Chains A and B, each alone.
Chain A
Amino acid sequence: MNGIKFLFAAYIATWVIHGVYLGSLVRRFGKLRRELKEVGKGK
């Protein structure tokens, strides 16, 4: 049935959006930890 296509589209879209956000969090964490190490070394 046509409706099922939309059902799965909605579920997949939800997790893609969550995934993108979580990915950005991981990336930002990595960047900040590296920066913190650099500042630590600078001293």
Chain B
Amino acid sequence: MKRLFPILSILTAVFLAYALHLALGKSTPTDAQQGEVYRIIYYHVPSAWTAFLLFFVNFIASIQYLVSRKPSTQAAAKWVVLAIGVVGVVACFLPAVQRLIPAGMRPSAVATTVLLIPIFYFLIGWLFPGDRLDVLAVTTAEVGVVFCTIVLVTGPIWARPVWGIWWAPGDIRLTSTLVLWLIYVSYLVLRRFSSSAQTQMLAAALAVFGALDVPLVYLSIWYFRTQHPQPVIGGGGSMDPRMLHVLLISWMAFLCFAFLVCWSRFRLELLHREVEEAHAMESLAGEGVAAKASLPLNRGPR
């Protein structure tokens, strides 16, 4: 395992360099309206997609952590998730539901996306048993915040030359991203400041609250937008296929990078818990009165 990491790092670095080369190079045309500045999209959008994916994983891990406390809730949750998968996929092919799907999206694409929910749920539950769910949660939250910060920094940098303004409160994408960022920063603050032995569960509950909030945030800003028309930062509409191609490649490169960063953070968290346990064992063994740690296990600040 340990030798794999440097090799993967080098590969990822090469991949990122290649993506950068494509993003700035001649293979992608210059945007007719925006000029060269539009190329920020190749960093802005992949960072956003990565952040949302990481937060989604955090949400799944948090729910699993919460339901794993009792076997009855765990079994119930499994059935609910399966039901979501089945109903979601079937519904996409019913004419009544198909009318609700926005134009441009094929029902099979939506069905595949819905199918990802149970797939992720069972994959994560299988790969990260027990306490590792919580380690995964804190890892994805932290790395997600990093990527989300990048979205919020590159967004205004992009908006300024294109629209003349740094920020538009009705811009649904940037504003919802800001709220998501705020929720997860508060999640990380809770983890750091909480000294209770049950910090993990409290944080998981907060993550669930955050996830419930996201559609409401989206709805509220969407309606606000209809009342106060504002520019859409980041542009909408269809894309030149060459641009889309480079965008996806850039995303793949950043996903590899994110994966490696998460792996590092995951190992860091495991090391942290190992050190805590070592402290606890030391004080249990009664080696000297001046033990550093005090029971119960302090999961808070280092």
- Chain A residues within 8 Å of B, Cβ to Cβ: 1-4, 6-7, 9-11, 13-14, 17-18, 21-22, 25, 28-29, 31-33, 35-36, 39-40, 42-43
Contact = CB atoms under 8 A, between A and B. Distances in A.
B112 interface: no
Contacts of B56: none
A36 B271 contact: yes
Contact of A10 (B149, B158, B265): B158
A18 B264 CA distance: 13
B278 A3 contact: no
Nearest to A31: B302
B36 A1 contact: yes
A10 B154 contact: yes
A22 to B, nearest CB: 7
User: Binding site of B, secondary structure by majority: helix, strand, loop or mixed?
Assistant: helix
Interface string B38-50: 0110011001000
Given A13-B157, A17-B146, A39-B278, A6 B271 contact: no
B245 interface: no
B279 A10 contact: no
A25 B265 contact: yes
B271 to A, nearest CB: 5
B102 to A, nearest CB: 29
Interface in B219-269: 257, 261, 264-265, 268
Interface in B18-43: 20, 34-37, 39-40, 43
Instruction: Give the size range of B's interface with the partner.
Output: 35 or more
Interface of B: 20, 34-37, 39-40, 43-44, 47, 143, 146, 149-150, 153-154, 157-158, 160-161, 257, 261, 264-265, 268, 271-272, 274-275, 278-279, 282, 285, 287, 302
B54 to A, nearest CB: 13
B188 to A, nearest CB: 12
Nearest to A26: B264
A35 B43 contact: no
Contacts of B43: 10-11, 14
A23 B161 CA distance: 31
B161 A14 contact: no
